[in-house]
Amino acid sequence: MKLHHIGVACKNIATEINSITKLHTVTAISATVFDPEQDAELALLTLSDGTQIELIAGKQVEIIVKKNISYYHLCFEVDDIYAEIERLSCEGALLVSPPKPAILFNNRAVVFLQVSYGLIELLSSK
């Protein structure tokens, strides 16, 4: 597993992009897309050190945004998403949603699991 991005919940993606670009050197910003599988608007920012931040807005994160919580998840890229689901489940991770295609990542499969330190997303490398 390799860290791919940090997921940040926000009320409005354009507003959050504006805020982040004031704080960090942003070298790339993806188009904002609506993913019906996630029921959310999404955008990916790349910082000058290569760190990627995924912004998530919409019903999917509405409750935590209302609580002023912005941290949403860590995403790890994996070679075999099903093997990682099995391995993590054996270690106590709880499956939150089944694997599904993610528009922001060229329809590569993603899955969410709850682990001891919070929500994680696995992103298939293929």
pLDDT at 20: 98
Mean pLDDT in order along the chain per 10 residues (126 residues)? 97 97 98 94 98 96 95 97 97 96 96 97 96
Count of structural domains, the chain = 1
Query: Residue 61, exposed/middle/buried by CB under 10 A (0-12, 13-18, 19+)?
Result: buried
pLDDT at 19: 97
pLDDT at 121: 98
According to DSSP, the β-strands at 94-102 and 108-115 are antiparallel
* CATH at residue 19: 3.10.180.10
7 near 64, Cβ under 8 Å? no
pLDDT at 49: 97
| pTM (2 d.p.) | 0.94
Range of the domain at 107: 2-124
